[in-house]
Amino acid sequence: MSVRQKVPEDLTARKALALEVIDRLKKEYPDAGCTLDYAHAWQLLVSVRLAAQCTDARVNMIVPKLYEKFPDVNALADAPVEEIEEIVRPCGLGKSKARDISACMRMLRDVYGGNVPNDFNALLKLPGVGRKSANLIMGDVFGKPAIVTDTHCIRLCNRIGLVDHIKEPKKVEMELWKIIPPEEGNDLCHRFVLHGRDICSARTTPHCEHCCLQDICAQRI
């Protein structure tokens, strides 16, 4: 039987809830970080594009083959799109992902000297890069305030009551900026991923009985 608690309407109350969620998830997942493997900023750009509608685990299995053949920005920028597609096809949507990766690497080479720009709006101009990807780069690579509204973040924020029936990623992001301290956003989103996989699942009934947030969650299922 579902128990539906009231989502806090007052901004102050939602800020207080957010701080409690942050504190509890820190204790539950003290070493949370990006689940995509990368050694350089451009590699994270590639991986986050491949991760669309694909698991991070599968992406981490595929990218070593890509980097073995094309070890840097210049090599990937010069690579035939068909060869990129052949390698990344197991991640799904191979044609569009390969096209975006190729165009993105060419832009990094031609406009930014092979470097990933340390600017949110500049990142958004790169082919295949949206707000989620740009926030991930800003937070993980450059250590800047970031809120990555992936599917785990959106699902958990609605269930917990940090947002109320908002599913559009940018709208969720804007609401979270109002209540989450800027320095906490990036790590919190990584913890949402871990908590979403371990406890607050989308594919099965959430394991509320094992959840560290069960007494403050707006929706217990």
Q: What are the residue numbers of the active site?
A: 132, 150
Nearest to 50 by CA among 7, 109, 98, 9: 98
Interior angle at CA 87, CA 82 and CA 89, nearest 5 = 85
Nearest to 108 by CA among 118, 96, 98, 97: 118
Nearest to 217 by CA among 32, 6, 13: 6
Give 115's Cβ-side CA count (13 Å radius).
7
